[in-house]
Amino acid sequence: MLYREAGDFKTSYVADSQTFPIAFDRYRYWVVLAVAFLVVPFFITDYTANALLLPFLIYSIAAIGLNILTGYAGQVSLGTGGFMAVGAYACYKLMTAFPDVNILIHVILAGGITAAVGTAFGLPSLRIKGFYLAVATLAAQFFLVWLFNKVSWFYNYSASGQINAPERTVLGVAVTGPNTPAWASYLVCLVFVTACALIARNLTRGALGRQWMAIRDMDIAAEIIGVNPLKAKLTAFAVSSFFVGISGALFFAVYLGAVEVGEAFGINKSFLVLFMIIIGGLGSIFGAFAGAAFLVCLPVVLKLIGVDLLGWPTDLVAHFQLVIVGLLIMFFLVKEPHGLAQLWRLAKEKLRLWPFPH
Amino acid sequence: MSADFLYGIEVVINGLMAGVMYALVALGFVLIFKASGIFNFAQGVMALFAALTLVGIMEGQIPFAHLINATFGTEIHHFGWHVPALLAIAMTVGVMVLFAWAVQRFLFRHLVGQEPIILFMATIGLAYFLEGVGDLMWGSDIKTLALGLPQGGARWIEDATAGLGGDDFYGFFIDKLDIVATGVAIVLVTGLILFSQYTKHGRAMRAVADDHQAALSVGISLNFIWILVWSLAGFVALVAGIMWGAKSGVQFSLSLIALKALPVLMLGGFTSIPGAIVGGLIIGVGEKLFEYLIGPMVGGATENWFAYVLALLFLVFRPQGLFGEKIIERV
């Protein structure tokens, strides 16, 4: 009854084209933000932060990035892990080279560097499409991981080949390094997630987003009506890599603290983020969040049920996890190719008519 | 001839042999892609699953033993018998046919008419599922495949060629298993070509590959052909699984060779069986030569990425691969 447009009159174009046209959605959005910023930090524990909230927030950024490329611009990429590694190593090099500069600036710069690298690897997309492109992005994945493994300049010649995040502070509170309070790392990630989601949402409904979607739906037709495929595809790669780079930087600096490239940013990471956007919903910002939340929670829930309730050994639960993730992906593709986001949309449609659907 | 040059030749020969192994995996991809337009990412996991099943049947392992033990507190592992290799292979083929049917019945029948990229992602899901099932059924430890395939270097080739070079040269080192794999690949490809040229179902398969609707209209059952194609791909996966399993043990990394087959396909073109072979050979030789000549300068392990970069550069100039059908796009 609350959820409808009736009585919510728009008097300006700005009001008419806002993201949430329904008043209830707007309030809900502000409530979610308020809870995330003002309530959660006071109740957060190390366990909830490290097992659930931090990975959720960081993967959300990566999923938004990949969703821009794959969901909006239609260019399938299997190189997400590699680009996350670029973000992480760029952040590390910047942190150690300029220790006095604020870490937040480093993270943004790392995103910028990743955007440049991503654009370079996006160049072949002008010639090749579809599966061929998906495989071509694997070149980025394997080459970048190899590069960070072999060239010791990237990890400052450390003996272990690992990179470790030194302690950096924001407003006097440590946000990286071992002494970071859980709420601080949570808030840093939350700020980036909010900013990224806002930017992505507004990019995708603006001129650039429309160009991406035109390219996705049919690139030749898009070219005929005046979309420049060079610009559209390369900006998609750049913006997507920017987000993915930020998530890689946060993943390394704020979440893990110490990273070994092959383990943290291998091909599995690429697939994980791809699954997030498939399950969440291609071409939807909400879908990126839903997919990330789902795939972050799934192992935790399975572990709770399998190990703690049924008393199974952990390797068995890990195998079950593979089976369930695989089944879910197939199930979603068969039943609802548009993912959780579509279910959400349908629920909202139903809610609009409730309780008098006729 | 100088020893360096001869070692270069040895690298090329070994590259060709490695290429044959890649081509074995790539073949399965091409079969399914031609007939149904599905880019089957699960091909590598199918090879792993087939090899696991083969080992499991031969050793008389009880499927899902680990799970049963964990649930009921029992301690069962083996039936206590050993199945002869040929029978076990036949049974594994049976399992793969069953798998083909199930995939068709429960997955791709519901996805007819979807975009290719959706189908591709479905096969990624399938790959995860199959990997999990394989681990649950047979356990995730590394297994050895005891089929009695020859191992180690071929001594007589080494002895026969040792006289070619100077004192620094000890003859070509070639793995016997690679020679066997080459022979098997030749037989397999010949068999596939004969099958698709001269048998009723083979022709039906090609008709479906050409045009689904036209094939339907002359009374070919798409469902049957797709099951057939998936079974064939399962069989090819089994062969690839046996060869790779004999080479490096039956373990998870077997499923990663699928990734290695991708650049092979890109080079050769997704729709061409000869393309898969030639692409495999080019990739095999290319990466071995690159590792031999350039590898030491940049720190080695270039085999991880060289194939992809080669394929990428190649595609920029010829987007449909060497032998692929020309991509024609209409609005």
Residue spans per domain, chain B: 3-317
Distance CA B224, CA B201 (A): 9
Residue A139 has its nearest CB partner, among B107, B298, B305, at: B305
Percent of chain A with pLDDT over 90: 18
Q: What is the pLDDT at residue B3?
A: 67
pTM of the model: 0.85
Q: Which helix (H) or strand (E) holds A109?
A: helix A103-122
Inform me whether the C-beta atom of residue A267 falls under 8 Å from chain B C-beta atoms: yes
Give the closest-approach CA distance of B297 to chain A in angstroms.
Answer: 11
Give the closest-approach CA distance of A158 to chain B in angstroms.
Answer: 16
- DSSP state for residue B124 in the 8-state scheme: H
Q: Which residue of A has its CA nearest to B298?
A: A150
- DSSP state for residue B95 in the 8-state scheme: H
Is the separation of the CB atoms in A292 and A284 below 8 Å? no
Contacts of B211 (CB under 8 A, 6+ apart): none
Tell me the per-residue pLDDT of A202-223, one tens digit each, with 9 for 90 and over: 998 888 999 999 988 888 888 8
Contact B129 A320 (CB under 8 A): no
Q: Which helix (H) or strand (E) holds A164?
A: strand A163-164
Interface test with B, best of A123, A135, A295 (most B CBs within 10 A): A135
Residues A118-146 have a mean pLDDT of 83
Percent of chain B with pLDDT over 90: 2
Residue A192 Rama label (left phi>0; alpha psi -120 to 50; beta): alpha
Biggest CA–CA distance in chain B, Å, is 69
Residue B149 has pLDDT above 80, yes or no: no
Q: What is the pLDDT at residue A188?
A: 87
- Count of C-beta atoms within a 10 Å radius of residue B75: 8
Is ipTM beyond 0.85? no
Residue B103 has pLDDT above 70, yes or no: yes
Tell me the per-residue pLDDT of A306-339, one tens digit each, with 9 for 90 and over: 777 777 777 778 888 888 888 888 888 888 777 8
Residue B128 has its nearest CB partner, among A325, A334, A337, at: A325
Residue A97 has pLDDT above 70, yes or no: yes
- pLDDT higher at B65 or B245: B245
Which residues of chain B are within 8 Å of residue A221 when distances are taken between CB atoms? Answer: 331
Is the separation of the CB atoms in B54 and B323 below 8 Å? no
The position carrying tokens 């997955």 is B107
Is the separation of the CB atoms in B86 and B176 below 8 Å? no
Residue B77 has pLDDT above 80, yes or no: no
Residue of A260, A246, A203, A267 whose CA lies nearest to A60: A246
Distance CA B245, CA B88 (A): 15
Q: Which residue of A has its CA nearest to B125?
A: A326
- Please tell me the least confidently modeled range out of A4-8, A102-106, A191-195, B152-156: B152-156
Inform me whether the C-beta atom of residue A324 falls under 8 Å from chain B C-beta atoms: yes
Cα atoms found within 13 Å of the Cα of residue B35, Cβ hemisphere only: 28
Distance CA A33, CA A289 (A): 14
Which residues of chain B are within 8 Å of residue A131 when distances are taken between CB atoms? Answer: 39, 116, 120, 270
Which pLDDT band, with edges at 50, 70 and 90, does A98 fall under?
A: confident
Give the closest-approach CA distance of A219 to chain B in angstroms.
Answer: 9
Which residues of chain A are within 8 Å of residue B279 when distances are taken between CB atoms? Answer: none
Q: In the A/B pair of chains, how many CB contacts fall below 8 A?
A: 140
Contacts of A166 (CB under 8 A, 6+ apart): A95, A96, A99, A176, A177
Inform me whether the C-beta atom of residue A320 falls under 8 Å from chain B C-beta atoms: yes
SS3 (DSSP) at B61: strand
